[in-house]
Chain A
Amino acid sequence: MKKNIEAYVAAHGLALTKLCLSLTNNRHDAEDLYQTTWEKAIRNLRKYDDARPFEKWLFTICVNTYRDRVRRYDNKKILQFSTDEEQERFLSSVPDEEGDRDEYLALYSAVKKLKPSLREAVVLYYFRDYSVAELAEILNIPAGTVKSRLSAARAELRKELSDD
């Protein structure tokens, strides 16, 4: 198993890092989410069905862990930058080929206002261009629910961004 763990971490560590950052925006929380996700994945590796893409399985664990965290903190501490520097660091890490830099703070605020269930769906959607079926599998919700959450999330983002 040790070889597998090493290989899995090497192959999927960066993607998981990005997902954790996207879900939390807070490096501190993101790293904790990252560690806990690997911890759970390694602990349950024997349950992993290798017919299924490892990344999706890993992301499912990550999302479930994220949900636990949101539930425990009542969503209050999620998506909080602990310092202005941290905010600046995160926002400047967003690729900006089209010169939209100034608008990412508004986008962050809009994402932060989303309900957790909408946020996790929309973040995963944009993170990997997953299909509705794939999102349903990762989020463990029906495809119809994925569609409605994506639709609602995008509508709220659109409204927030137009208000700004």
Chain B
Amino acid sequence: MTDEKMDRMMKSYCNPQAEVFEYKPKKYRGLKAASVIAAALVLTVLGTLIIPSINKDSHNFVLTVNAASDRTENSQTGTIYSENFVYDNNMNQVDHYYVMDAEVMLGGDDIEDVSFRSLNGYGQFFVLYNPDPDDYHDDLGWWCDSEGNLAPDYVGWRTYDYDEYYNKAKIYPTNDWSKEYLYHIQYSAIDDDGYFLQPENATADRNDTIEIFVTFTNGDTLTKRLNVTYSDGVMSVEEIR
């Protein structure tokens, strides 16, 4: 084959005839939401105030809670309260809502596996995978239910991807991510109907406990518990010591 022909064919090959894909913003509640949102905005609104490490042990284990910088200056609690916007298919803003999240970040040199759950079932999880430690926003993620199981219905059209690769709600570290924080687990408070808990309903009866179970490569295990409490519509998260 001549270079000319190869160039011609490659040019055609790389410019296939195609109908444009429809852009489908991710559902924020795949089970019930009638409208769609750019759910990624949830992450954009999250701040970057990182509470200093609250635990290190012989496994060089580190655990922090990431709080929203636009919400609190309290360095002892992780409090996240963000406003998100709902768009229809024509990108017209049709609604907005709030999310109360606690983002737990943990890592270490010899973690084999991590699992987690919401003890009272008042939260669902979003697990973040970040291949680029230099860009906080360059992340992927998938929803898990309150038991830490992968929840395909929560992620709509993306399920086949994560369902296949992460066949359980376990988190697999990536070699090229910072060893300091291999895992992001985002706890989102939900109401009894499964929607994100709104501030007016964020009362003490929604208090919860996040349990995180860590297994190290030598077989050691570690359980961490975080208290999730509400006061005046604001969520706080603290490690139970």
Contact = CB atoms under 8 A, between A and B. Distances in A.
Interface of A: 2-3, 5-6, 9, 13-14, 16-18, 20-22, 28, 30-32, 34-36, 38-40, 42-44, 64, 68, 71-73, 90, 93-98, 100, 103-104, 107-108, 111, 122-123, 126-127, 154, 157-158, 161-162
B92 A2 contact: yes
Interface in B4-32: 5-21, 23-26
Given A35-B23, A36-B140, A42 B6 contact: no
Kindly list the 6 A-B residue pairs having the minimum CB-CB distance in the complex, ordered from nearest: A43-B40, A126-B14, A93-B16, A14-B20, A6-B91, A13-B20
Instruction: Tell me what chain A mostly uses at the interface: helix, strand, loop, or mixed.
Output: helix
Which of A40, A68, A107, A158 has the most chain B CB atoms inside 10 A of its CB? Answer: A68
A127 B15 contact: yes
B53 to A, nearest CB: 28
Using C-beta atoms within 8 Å of the partner chain, give the interface range for chain B. Answer: 35 or more
B212 interface: no
A161 B161 CA distance: 33
Interface in B152-207: 157-158, 160-161, 165, 174, 176
A154 B174 CA distance: 32
Given A13-B20, A22-B14, A95-B12, A64 B138 contact: yes
B43 interface: yes
B54 interface: no
28 contacts: A2-B93, A13-B20, A17-B18, A18-B14, A18-B16, A20-B21, A21-B18, A22-B14, A30-B21, A34-B21, A39-B40, A71-B176, A73-B165, A90-B16, A93-B18, A94-B12, A95-B16, A97-B12, A100-B5, A103-B1, A103-B9, A107-B13, A126-B10, A126-B11, A126-B15, A127-B14, A161-B6, A162-B1
Contacts of A20: 21
Contacts of A13: 20-21, 23
Given A43-B44, A157-B10, A158-B3, A22 B15 contact: yes
Interface of B: 1, 3, 5-21, 23-26, 38, 40-41, 43-44, 87, 90-93, 131-132, 137-138, 140, 157-158, 160-161, 165, 174, 176
Contacts of B1: 103, 158, 161-162
Contacts of A21: 16, 18
A72 B11 contact: no
Contacts, number: 127
Nearest to A34: B21
Nearest to A123: B14
Contact of A17 (B21, B161, B165, B174): B21
Nearest to A10: B20
Contact of B160 (A28, A35, A122, A157): A28
Contact of B38 (A42, A97, A158): A42
A35 B24 contact: yes
